Chain A
Amino acid sequence: MTAGLRARIKAEWERSKVSYMFVGPFLLLFTVFTVVPVVLSIVLSFTDFNTLQPPKWVGLQNYIRLFLDDDVFQIAVKNTFIFAAVTGPLSYLLCFIFAWLINELRPGVRALLTLLFYAPSISGNAYMIWHYIFSGDMYGYLNGVLLKWGIIDKPLQWLIEPEYIMPIVVMVALWMSLGTSFLVFIAGLQGLDPTLFEAAAIDGVRNRWQELWYITLPSMKSYLMFGAILTITNSFAAAGQITNLVGYPSTDYAAHTVMQHLQDYGNIRYEMGYASTIAVVLFVTMVTAQRVVQRLLGKLGQ
């Protein structure tokens, strides 16, 4: 190490000592519990690792197997893209629209409506109510009603027949989509400076739609990006609620997602090398989607 470089490092440390002290504790935890494990699993994606024997280097074999030999993965990719393409944009819009609309209500009314909209997310498994509704026997609410009205003459297997599974899963996902992003949007909207809107009214903004496009959306960019990342993660990595709703595996893999495929190999078969390969592929997909959304959000208010 040259003396000049050493002096520059020392100067930078002197200048930013306080900043490093602020970031330090978190950075340590983040490195130990996230960065190292993630790097490790990227390395593992090139190995054969059953968690008992030491990993064996196999090069690109896992990737080749995933894309060429794994028929179930093909189904999972198709399902995941359909699921993400429908629930992602729709749930994002719903979060923003509802947050935006209730923002103008009086505090008490707003708090109540926020609670009601957020209700599906508040209890970890509130969506299991749909299990009662779509239950395949005659105790299921939907079957009960349809039988009573004479629309069907025997109970339908809503959660077992492949053609119903995907629509139901998508509907439940939309129903519970007013989650974290929704709360963040509300808090963000609350933080906007009211004088901005008064000034805009003087400058010729005439209705709420102009106000939304020229003032609200551009000042919300930072929150919108946060919401976008969460929405992308939720829609591409959906698994838990699908398993609980339609079982694992779903009939004919009708709702099999990439994340479920990953958990199958990681948590059940303990093929960690292969599971890591799926994680890397999923990761690259989500990062690509995030880049696209970032570009779109950059165009707001222009």
Chain B
Amino acid sequence: MKHLLYRQRVNRSASVDFVIFVFLAGGAIFTALPLVFAISNAFKPLNELFLFPPQFFVRNPTLQNFADLFTLMRQSWVPMSRYITNSLIIVIGGMAGNLLFGSMAAYALSKHDFFGRHFINSLIVLSLMFAPAVVRIPNYLTIAWLGWIDTYWAVIVPAWASTLGLYLLKNFIDAMVDDSLLEAARIDGASEFFIYRKIVMPIVKPAWLTLIILTFQQLWGVTGSEFIYTENYKTLPYALDQIVRGGIARQGVGAAAALIMMAVPIVVFVINQSRIVETMGTSGIK
């Protein structure tokens, strides 16, 4: 049992290990509620969704909700594949830019010494604490002035400027990348870009895998309705939301749609989490 659960470490007592395990299991059951509930609900026939007393688990599982959802999706005026493509463009475009520009800046802000570095670093920390609600209107004006209203750019480019991602990467570079390693590479004649690409980024792989999870989740939920009016450019969450809003009889369809929306980030999460573990097991760079 112990060998199945724990890696071998020094300084550990078995009794405390057991207490901790019970504590973790309890916490996991409590936080797993929404997953269990969402899965259970998606397979409930309509009469079970309105049962008294209400039931947490499904009794007679059915695929009817999914069948109904797909029927409704086929009837939509713009094909569903279009909404899915739009969502993917926004998610991948936003994520790629944020990772690239954010990590490049994070490297320089962490390891280079140049005029204005400390000032920029404090600005970034401060910016994390300013309420985004009040910058909505200036941002709308900027995007309108750039002529990006009703295009993907309106959602993608502001995502590139996310300071959260940069700050995350910078903290990891601060903590994980040893200056002496970079010095050695410079002495060997490596260019700064080479150092960034081949030394720094591989070491902080857990950081950008985590960042991918976070940005994916954030952008996946974007409806973009603030900037995008043309139906052809709208995203999947928007389309599903429209379908589900068809009234109380759509509750079952809504549960199925919610499960599908949730499933995609979970898959990204699981893949990335397992890769974080993999890197740490194999990286030999100290």
A residues sitting closer than 8 Å to B (CB atoms) are 12, 15-16, 18-20, 22-23, 25-27, 29-30, 32-38, 40-41, 44, 51, 98, 101-102, 104-107, 109-111, 113-124, 126-127, 129, 132, 138-141, 144-145, 147-148, 175, 178, 180, 183-184, 186-188, 190-191, 193, 195, 197-198, 201, 205-208, 210-211, 219-223, 225-226, 229-230, 232-233, 237, 259, 262-263, 266-267, 272, 275-276, 278-279, 282-283, 286-287, 290
Contacts and interface: CB of A to CB of B under 8 A. Distances in A.
Contacts of B277: 107, 110-111, 190
Contacts of B9: 104, 197
Interface of B: 4-7, 9-13, 16, 20, 23-24, 27-28, 30-35, 37-38, 50, 52-54, 56, 101-102, 104-105, 107-109, 112-115, 117, 120, 123-131, 133-139, 142, 157-158, 160-161, 163-164, 166-168, 171-172, 174-176, 192, 196, 206-207, 209-210, 213-214, 217, 221, 258, 261-262, 265-266, 269-270, 273-274, 276-278, 280-281, 286
B205 to A, nearest CB: 9
A141 B24 contact: no
A33 B161 contact: yes
Contact of A37 (B107, B139, B207): B139
Secondary structure at chain B's binding surface: helix, strand, loop or mixed? helix
Contact of B133 (A117, A126, A208, A262): A262
Contacts of A148: 53
A190 B280 contact: yes
A276 B50 CA distance: 44
A188 B30 contact: no
Contacts of B117: 19
A50 to B, nearest CB: 11
Contact of B166 (A26, A210, A282): A26
Contact of B135 (A38, A114, A121, A230): A38
Contacts of A104: 6-7, 9, 12
